[in-house]
Amino acid sequence: MGRALSRRRAVAWGAAGAAGAALPLIGPPAAGADELSGAPGRFFDVTKFGAKGDGRTIDTAAINRAIDAAAVRGGTVYFPAGTYASYSIHLKSNIALYLGANATILAAAPAGGKGYDPAEPGAGNPYQDFGHSHWHNSLIWGENLENVTIEGPGKIDGQGLVAGGSAESAPLNGNKAIALKLCRNVAIRDITIVNGGHFGILPTGVDNFRIDGLVIDTNRDGINIDCCKNVRIANTTVNSPNDDAIVLKSTYALNQVRDTENVTIDNCFVSGYDLGTLVGGTYKTSSSYGRTGRVKFGTESNGGFRNIAISNVVFEHCRGLALETVDGGWLEDVTISNLTMRNVQMPLFLRLGARMRGPAGIPVGFLRRVSISDVTTVDADPRYPSCLAGIPDHPIEDVKLSNIRHHLAGGLTPGDAVQDPPELENAYPEPSMFGTLPAYGFFVRHARGISWDNVDVRFGKPDMRPAYVLRDVTDADVHHGRADQVAGTPTFVLDGVDDFRVSDGRPVPEARVDHADHREV
């Protein structure tokens, strides 16, 4: 009777893993030849295929044998407690990898002429770096697959991965923990990733993709969502002091323009603590500002970003939210709410540029119809307040900012700032690209249809810069706003501004400016 129960549980668990449903917390079936037979919904314990799990033996071949067996009719490849040193693991359709408690897949360092799969030919265009254009040189990879799950509670340790490089410089190296190309119906849940290489997770052209409950503490990018549709990222923590945490991109890596769209990101935490100290529980940081660790759209933006919703995200010791499109992509229909930021650099950065790294003839893109609400920012870098920056003849359009507490550290003067920041139309976009900005709250240039509703702009130490500087802006509305002010310093500086309104505000209660070449309010 017990044997029959074990088999029924195995069928239910394996089927759930392959379909992407939650797994019950039960153990694997008892060992036996029929457990390894490839029957539908069965377990395939990697140790039964020869994996040692001792952290020294290279278990790549055994793991891939287990995957091949599971893929015959669909099943779950099970990693019991142990450390499985490996090179490239080949995913297949209709399988799940289940990393049990205290199980680790360890990316081994190349040795003895053995290492990771060679990088495939790739996109063959010059518009992306090496990391974005190759997938096979990874610890775990899959291409043209469907119905794949990777789940925990175990860990992936990318100790032997590199953070950059090229096939020519190191052909045996791997530089990504998980890479997926042109797949669908994929779920990654409840695992921990440390030291993920250039990318902890890189899906390109992956549709119906779910990430839930991950903890990532990594040396470069955490999660890059590239040219993907119908993506859900939830309940996930990413610490990435030297690069971005969660990034939406739309590259030309598939040799075509493909949007990233229909994406939700919610209930997440991003940070820039010292590498390893989030997973280690010490949460150290060697500097107050300048760490990366943020949520960002761009910078790879050949395609568009559409229908995106972000909510309930905490930022700490990192850069703030960045919405960027600089290669001709359209960034539109984005709703963002309930953000908390502490010790960040540039809380909100919206950039429409013209780097145009892509095929010739593509026009400059759009950045429009963005709503950002319910944001609390505390002790942000005073050099880089929030910035909305288009370029001449290509304004950012229709941005609504509401219910925002915007607090910067303050303490600067106009002499500390670049009073006429360079345009840098074709530059790589970063918060620091214009230098220290001439406003302590919001710097807005080349924009149309911008509104602030119930926005408080505050500083810690007195700051002698104006709260708002607007240049080449049409149709700007500030309602029920408050701003700290040093005596004798204007709240608003307007240069080339049309149709500007203030209502029910402090310290400026009401103002109406139909046109200003230059005006201080």
Given this model, what pLDDT does residue 214 score? Answer: 98
Neighbouring C-beta atoms of residue 121, cutoff 10 Å:
10
- Backbone phi, psi, residue 292, to 5°: -90, -90
pLDDT tens, per residue, the chain with 521 residues: 333 333 333 433 443 344 333 333 333 444 433 344 444 458 999 999 999 999 999 999 999 999 999 999 899 999 999 999 999 999 999 999 999 999 999 999 999 999 999 999 878 888 888 888 899 999 999 999 999 999 999 999 999 999 986 655 678 999 999 999 999 999 999 999 999 999 999 999 999 999 999 999 999 999 999 999 999 999 999 999 999 999 999 999 999 999 999 999 999 999 999 999 999 999 999 777 889 999 999 889 999 999 999 999 999 999 999 999 999 999 999 999 999 999 999 999 999 999 999 999 999 999 999 999 999 999 999 999 999 999 999 999 999 999 999 999 999 999 999 999 999 999 999 999 999 999 999 999 999 999 999 999 999 999 999 999 999 999 999 999 999 999 999 999 999 999 999 999 999 999 999 999 999 99
- Which residue type, as a one-letter code, is found at position 415? G
Dig out the tokens for 305 from the structure: 């970003």
Residue 83 near residue 106, CB atoms below 8 Å: yes
- Check the CA dihedral 393-368-470-246 and report its sign: negative
Give the H/E segment covering residue 83.
strand 82-86
Q: Measured at the alpha carbon of residue 459, what is the angle toward residues 456 and 460, in degrees to the nearest 5?
A: 135
What are the helix (H) ranges across 40-126? 60-71
Q: Do strands 492-503 and 510-520 pair parallel, antiparallel, or not at all (unpaired)?
A: antiparallel
- Alpha carbons within 13 angstroms on the beta-carbon side of residue 412 total 24
How many beta carbons lie within 10 A of that of residue 41, not counting itself? 21
Contacts of 123 (CB under 8 A, 6+ apart): 133, 252, 253, 254, 255
Q: Does 516 map to a domain?
A: yes
Rounded Cα distance between 451 and 317, Å, is 28
pLDDT of residue 377: 98
The CA distance from 299 to 166, in Å, is 21
350 with 377: CB under 8 angstroms?
Answer: no
List CB contacts of 197: < 8 A, sequence separation 6 or more.
107, 138, 139, 158, 161, 162, 163, 174, 175, 176, 177, 218, 219, 220
CA distance 415 to 166: 44
Q: What's the rounded Cα separation, in Å, for the pair 121 and 11?
A: 40
Does any domain span residue 430?
Answer: yes
Domain region containing 422 = 351-521
- Residue 36 maps to a domain: no
Give Cα 424 distance to the centre of its chain.
24
Flag whether 445 is in a domain.
yes
> Given its phi and psi angles, is residue 133 left (phi above 0), alpha (psi -120 to 50 degrees) or beta?
alpha
Task: Domain count for the chain, please give it.
Answer: 1
- Which one-letter DSSP state was computed for residue 417? S
Beta bridge partners of 236: none
Count Cα neighbours of 129 within 13 Å in the Cβ-side half-sphere.
10
For 168, the 3-state DSSP assignment is coil
Separation between Cα atoms, residue 284 and residue 362, nearest integer Å: 44
* Residue 453 falls inside a structural domain: yes
Nearest CA to 208 among 250, 252, 155, 145?
145
Query: Is 363 in a helix, a strand, or coil?
Result: coil
The reply to whether the predicted model has a pTM over 0.75 is: yes
* pLDDT value of position 171: 84
Largest CA distance in the chain: 87
Which of helix, strand or coil describes residue 414?
Answer: helix
Q: Check if the beta carbon of residue 319 is closer than 8 Å to that of residue 347.
A: no
SS3 content of the chain, % helix, strand, coil (to 5): 10, 50, 40
Residue 294 lies in a domain: no
Looking at residue 427, its amino acid is A
Half-sphere exposure of 420 (CA within 13 A, CB side): 1
Residue 73 lies in a domain: no
CB 500 within 8 A of CB 511: yes
pLDDT at 286: 78
Residue 19's pLDDT is 39
Residue at 395 is within a domain: yes
